Amino acid sequence: MDRFVSTFTNKIDAKGRVSIPASFRAVLERDGYAGGIAGGLYCYPSLDAQALDAGGERLAKKIDGLLAGLPDYSDERDELSVALYGDVQVLSIDGDGRIVLPESLRAHAHLDAAVSFVGLGEKFQMWEPKRFEERRAEARSKIQVTRKLFAAGSRPSGDGGDEGARE
């Protein structure tokens, strides 16, 4: 599988180290992670959540593509570059599958005792576990509303049937 999927919660040790889930490490390895700075784990504060975004070369290329779509020297490109690249930490995974989370990243995501790793396909996020549970509940609530709107739009008109709508 070449996607980050599922949710795992691991403890942070006294030295600030946390184990990356084995399935996430496998995705990173297939994405070119070879250890060290070259091909490292890119990690930065999420732009819209008190969480960390992380991934490998695919994530870096996606950011490059996003920036390439903006005009050179534009304010938008500069602001996005600062927000993404300016705060990126390139982390190494040790022989035991652990990373050291720098204090600045831990502070942004309020990480103290444990980390929830949340797969999001091409990237993953790291959350404080209780905050993630709140976020998951919010997302599930919103998706129920969205799903009902999509289902309502897919119903055949005129026959009063409820095809396409699942409750």
Q: Could you read off the pLDDT of 106-120 as tens digits, one per residue?
A: 999 999 999 999 999
State whether 33 and 109 are in the same domain.
yes
Say if residue 76 is in the same domain as residue 157: no
98 and 70 part of one domain: yes
Distance CA 32, CA 167 (A): 42
Lowest-confidence range among 87-96, 133-142, 156-165? Answer: 156-165
Q: What is the pLDDT of residue 156?
A: 56
Looking at residue 161, its pLDDT comes to 46
Pure H helices in the chain: 22-30, 57-68, 75-84, 103-109, 129-154
Structural domain harbouring 47: 7-127
Does 1 reside within a domain? no
pLDDT of residue 40: 79
**Beta-sheet strand order (sheet of 7-11):** 7-11, 114-119, 124-127, 52-55, 41-45, 89-91
Q: 44 with 118, same domain?
A: yes
pLDDT of residue 105: 97
Of the pLDDT bands very low, low, confident and very high (cuts 50, 70, 90), residue 148 is confident
pLDDT of residue 157: 52
Residues 118 and 157 both lie in one domain:
no
Average pLDDT over residues 156-166: 48
> Does 80 lie in the same domain as 149?
no
Tell me what pLDDT residue 72 has.
92
How many domains, the chain?
A: 2
Identify whether residues 27 and 106 lie together within a single domain.
yes
Kindly report the average pLDDT of the chain as a whole number: 88
Q: pLDDT exceeding 90 applies to what percent of the chain? A: 75
Q: Are 32 and 42 contained in the same domain?
A: yes
Same domain, 21 and 87: yes
How confident is the model over 26-72, as pLDDT tens digits?
999 998 876 544 457 999 999 999 999 999 999 999 999 999 999 99
Q: Indicate whether 152 belongs to any domain.
A: yes
The answer to whether residues 138 and 84 belong to one domain is no
Q: Are residues 74 and 30 in the same domain?
A: yes
